[in-house]
Amino acid sequence: MSGREPKDHLRAPGVTSTPSVKSVPPAIGPGMITRQVRVRTRDVVFLKGIVEALEGVAQVFAERGGDLTIAAPAGRERELDGIIDDLCRELGAMRVDPPAPSST
């Protein structure tokens, strides 16, 4: 093989085409909080690496391009918000969290 032929040998028997990739919202359970952040596409891997290196603080889900959802245990909300604020300043990212519920 020259490397240019279709890689049919890698497909499951009976599969004739590659399925399209579809965005799926992250599965976030009870006791978790989320924050939405928009970064440049080239910064997604960097932000994800930083957040996930802080073991147990949060997980990052890429919705599409630079639109990210960051989920953390509710008990780490203040810590997560501080990290996100720092990363937004550093990367020129933008928080796109929904507005807090009004008290009226």
Instruction: Report the pLDDT value the prediction gives residue 55, as an integer from 0 to 100.
Output: 84
Angle formed by the axes of helices 44-53 and 77-91, to 10°?
150
pTM of the model: 0.68
Instruction: Report the pLDDT value the prediction gives residue 27, as an integer from 0 to 100.
Output: 67
Residue 40 maps to which CATH number?
Answer: 3.30.70.2740
Phi first, then psi: what are they for 44, rounded to 5°? -60, -50
Which pLDDT tens digits describe the chain residue by residue (104 residues)?
Answer: 555 555 555 556 665 655 565 555 666 888 999 999 999 999 999 999 999 899 889 999 987 889 999 999 999 999 999 999 999 999 999 999 765 554 54
Report if residue 2 sits inside a domain: no
For 77-89, give one letter per residue: b (16+ CB within 10 A) or e: eeebeebbeebbe
Question: What residues make up the domain containing 67?
Answer: 31-95
* Strand, coil or helix: 8: helix
* Strand, coil or helix: 18: coil
